[in-house]
Chains A and B, each alone.
Chain A
């Protein structure tokens, strides 16, 4: 495990050199996307946001952004959201938008992981819920599809300055950080059931 300070645009080889468990801090230009933008573009056939053409860092996030009294956008809060819910569109987003990194939460499925390995893209997640430590590292540069999709589903253009730490949980070698941990928890589950006096093979009465 190593700590990296990366800048956009990312080079494919630096992304491919990352392994699950590595920690990254990220600077540069990013754009945001949630459920409605995925559907808007990939199911309803609208144009991809312009940011997707020249930014290779996607953040799965619905930030809280308000207008300050001068009429400028002000970022109030930021916490990456669960990526697994975008799995249906994941592979297409990586391929169509030429992504090198996704900042999200949780994980993504097999199809997206395969596309990430093919194209050279990683998924990273925070290991804390600390929006108030992050917001000073993010500047709002602009927004697309605000009227169409609303404030949290719109595409925000963000300028990042050493935003992190995030842990690489899917790398380009097809590894998933959580998979290894899951088997440990599965073993601990057996012990936990025994601790409660429950046979691990306990069968419920079949009521339905």
Chain B
């Protein structure tokens, strides 16, 4: 049985890491973008962002002031036993969010949607968010994502339904047009990690897009050739737009395009996009059944594919 004290500490560490330490795959993507950038202003912007990211890990300071929505992704082993059960897990997560807010690792960003009331601790109706996936084994894997507001609110995260007849062309047109709109004046903090969900109901597509944006490593590819091709084609096309860092013009507009899909009713194919900020933030730890805690660079969310 995994003790409550242990998983609450690990959840706190995942929040702290998620907000302050940018994962190696994202750092590598920055290094490559800086190396190949031909626009001086964009090169400077990328370099300063990269330097700030390195500082944030050293100072244990948030990589961006907008730490956004606190969201948790739990991979729960089928044989995982938690002290207090799953309601205790969610209570521990809320408690860790409160502590991380108080200590300045995340900003008190969550408000009442109509009144703007600020609880001051990022905990309120349906927030923080929880998503679960059940996997073999006895471990609990905790991933915290600090989902920034820029990439969420200004057009980088949305969906439409295209006809089966429109196929890949309809899907790709929606992605290109949406991205162009959303990056006007840099609203979504490009270059983004762009997640795309294809199929399922609208909410399934949106969840897949979010998970593709936030939980897949930059540089990973979908194992199915037809979806990998969409990733590669869109990556090339989006990077030919010249949007650049913060929309000022540059060679890199997306750091990655990650596609996930679900089987669907072919009357209409839901397509969702979810942009993650260039400062893509996630922190993952795995607690094994014997209490051993492992730090993971890759959340491995889609690792166990059917």
Q: How far is the CB of B219 from chain A (nearest CB, A)?
A: 21
Tell me, yes or no, whether B35 is within 8 Å of chain A by CB.
no
From residue 51 to 91 of chain A, which have CB atoms closer than 8 A to chain B? 61-64, 66, 74, 76-79, 81-82, 84-85
Would A77 and B64 be within 8 Å (CB), given that A128-B245, A128-B246, A204-B170 are in contact? Answer: yes
- Knowing A133-B55, A207-B163 touch, does A77 contact B173 (C-beta < 8 A)? no
Contact A106 B61 (CB under 8 A): no
Q: How far is the CA of A23 from the CA of B61 in the complex (A)?
A: 27
Number of interface residues of B (CB under 8 A): 73
B261 at the interface (CB under 8 A from A): no
A180 closest partner in B (C-beta): B249
Beta-carbon nearest neighbor of A126 in chain B: B246
Contacts of B46 in A (CB 8 A): 128
- Rounded to whole angstroms, the CA-CA distance of A184 and B236 in the bound complex is 17
Tell me if A129 and B278 are in contact (CB < 8 A): yes
Residue-wise interface mask of B (116-128) relative to A, using a CB-CB cutoff of 8 A (1 in contact, 0 not): 1010100000000
Pick the residue among B66, B165, B242, B243 that contacts A62 (CB under 8 A): B66
Of residues 136 to 184 in A, which have CB atoms within 8 Å of B's CB atoms? 149-153, 167, 169, 177-178, 181-182, 184
Write the residues of chain A forming the contact surface with B, with a CB cutoff of 8 angstroms. Answer: 35-36, 39, 61-64, 66, 74, 76-79, 81-82, 84-85, 105-107, 125-133, 135, 149-153, 167, 169, 177-178, 181-182, 184-186, 188-189, 191-193, 195-198, 202, 204-205, 207-208
Task: Report the 10 A-B pairs with minimum CB-CB distance, sorted nearest first.
Answer: A150-B118, A130-B52, A205-B163, A132-B55, A77-B65, A128-B48, A79-B65, A127-B45, A128-B45, A178-B185
Residues of B whose CB lies within 8 Å of any CB of A are 41-42, 44-49, 51-53, 55-56, 59, 61-67, 102-104, 106-109, 111, 116, 118, 120, 149-150, 153-154, 161-163, 165-166, 169-170, 172-174, 176-177, 180, 183-187, 189, 233-234, 236-238, 240-243, 245-249, 268, 277-279
